[in-house]
Amino acid sequence: MRRATLAVPAALALFAVTACGAPSENASRPTEDAAGSQELSTLVVGATAVPAGDILAFVQEELAADAGLDLDVREFSDYIAPNAALAEGQLDVNLYQHEPFLLEYNEGNGTDLVAVEKIYLPPLGLYSNRVDAVDELEKGAEVALPNDPTNEFRALLLLQEGGLITLADDVDEATFSLSDIEDNPLDLRFREVEAAQLPRSLDDVDAAIVNNNYAQEAGLDFEEDSILLEEVEGNAYVNVLAARSDNADDPRVATLVELLTSPETVRFIEDEYQGSVIPAVA
C-alpha cells in the first residue's frame, strides 16, 4: 500500500477510570530503612493502555526501582477522565495527551494542569478498508473524523496537507467548524465520531482519521492500513507528561521524566513500535 507521510503544523487525546484512589503523599526522594534497604517513592500515573501504558510498564519493570521509584499505573479508556482524576488529586501525573488538548481542557474546566515534558508522538493517520492510497478516494467519499474539537481540527489539517481539502486562511482553532472548509474538490462527506469508535467506523465509511492509540488497540497497522500519516518534525501534537501546577516540581516527577526520556526508553519505543510511535527525544 502506498501511504503519504506528511508534517502537520500546530493544534489530540482519553477515558473511563479502571481504578481510583489517592496518590502517595510521599514526595521525597527514596530513603533507607533501619536494615539499609531502599524504600521506594510511589508515583500514581494515569495513562491509556497503548502506547502510554506499555511505555510506563517498561519503565516500571526495567528502570524505576534503580531510580528509587515505584509507579502505580492506572489505565483509562477515554480522553477526559485522566485529566479529571489528575485535577482532583487521584493521580500525581498522567501520560496520554498533547499540549493543545491539555490547554483546551484547562480552559473548559477551570483547571491548572501543566505539561512537564514532551515524551512521544503517536502520529495521527487516515486509514481505509476500501482504498490503498489517497488518490483512490472517489468523489463523494465519506470520511470519519474524531468529534472532539482539538483532534478534529488536527484531522482537518492532516487532510489539508494531503491535498484533499483547503481550509479558510483565517480559520481559528478555537472556533472552527466544518464550514471553514473552503475547498473540497472531491466533495468529501464527513462523519463526526467519538474517537474510541473510529476504528469500528472503517466498515461503514471510505476512510477514517484514527488516533494512534485507538488504531493500535484495534490492530491497525500504520504501514499497511494508513494512507496518510503525520511526521514528528514541526508537530505540536507530541504527547506530554502532565502534572498539576502545585506538584510539577515534585522530585518524583523529575525522576519519571528522566526515565521516560532515557536512552533505554527511547530504544524501547523505537524497537517496540517501529515508527508507529516516535520518541520526542532523538
Of residues 260 and 33, the one with the higher pLDDT is: 260
Summarised one tens digit per residue, pLDDT across range 45-82 is 999 999 999 999 999 999 999 999 999 999 999 989 99
What region, left, alpha or beta, does residue 36 occupy, with left being phi > 0 and alpha being psi -120 to 50 degrees?
Answer: left
Does residue 7 surpass a pLDDT of 90?
Answer: no
List the grid coordinates of 240. 506530554
Annotate the chain with DSSP letters as a single string: ---EEE-----------S---PPP---SPPEE-TTSPEEPEEEEEEEEIIIIIHHHHHHIIIIIGGGTEEEEEEEESSSSHHHHHHHTTS-SEEEEEEHHHHHHHHHHHT--EEEEEEEEE---EEE-SS-SSGGGPPTT-EEEEESSHHHHHHHHHHHHHTTS-EE-TT--TTT--GGGEEE-TT--EEEEE-GGGHHHHTTTSSEEEE-HHHHHHTT--TTTTEEEEE-STT-S--EEEEEETTTTT-HHHHHHHHHHTSHHHHHHHHHHHTTSSEES--
What's the pLDDT score for residue 23?
Answer: 52
| 62 within 8 A of 200, measured Cβ to Cβ | no
List the grid coordinates of 207. 476512510
What's the pLDDT score for residue 282?
Answer: 66
Does residue 249 surpass a pLDDT of 90?
Answer: yes
Cα separation of 209 and 211, whole Å? 7
